[in-house]
Amino acid sequence: MQPNLDRQLTHVYAPDQRPTGTRANHGSPPALLFYRNYLLTVVGHFDDRVGLWTPVVDLTSKPEGRADVKLVTGKSFSSKKHAENAGIEMAKNWIDVFNDL
């Protein structure tokens, strides 16, 4: 039985897409993490309209570093750190589910 990710993921974007009305990280570097042969690049996007942070995660398993998948959640957070932590957990869950199929 395949786990349901609908509660966590609201969008899976192509790597060249980005939510509108947001600014990435306010100039700070993205969070980088290796997990199960994937490189996770986590960026907090600040939404000026609501004053909250949303995590956006690029996942790649290729040596050239181009994103295989971009994950975005509809959840927002009061701090960049909380958004990045949520993005890391979302990405780990996605990797675990799709590697265990």
Phi and psi at 86, nearest 5°, equal -65, -40
| pLDDT for 11 beyond 80 | no
Residue 64, judged by CB atoms within 10 A of its CB (0-12, 13-18, 19+), counts as exposed
Write down the domain spans for the chain.
Answer: 11-99
pLDDT tens for residues 76-97?
A: 999 999 999 999 999 999 999 9
pTM for the model stands at 0.69
pLDDT of residue 83: 94
CA distance 19 to 97: 25
CA distance 98 to 16: 22
Matching CATH number, 11-99, of 3.30.750, 3.40.50, 3.30.160, 3.20.20 = 3.30.160
pLDDT of residue 50: 92
Q: Which residue has the higher pLDDT, 11 or 61?
A: 61
Angle at 57 between CA 68 and CA 43, to 5 degrees: 135
CA distance 44 to 86: 10
pLDDT tens for residues 23-77?
A: 554 557 788 888 998 889 999 999 899 999 999 999 988 777 677 888 888 899 9
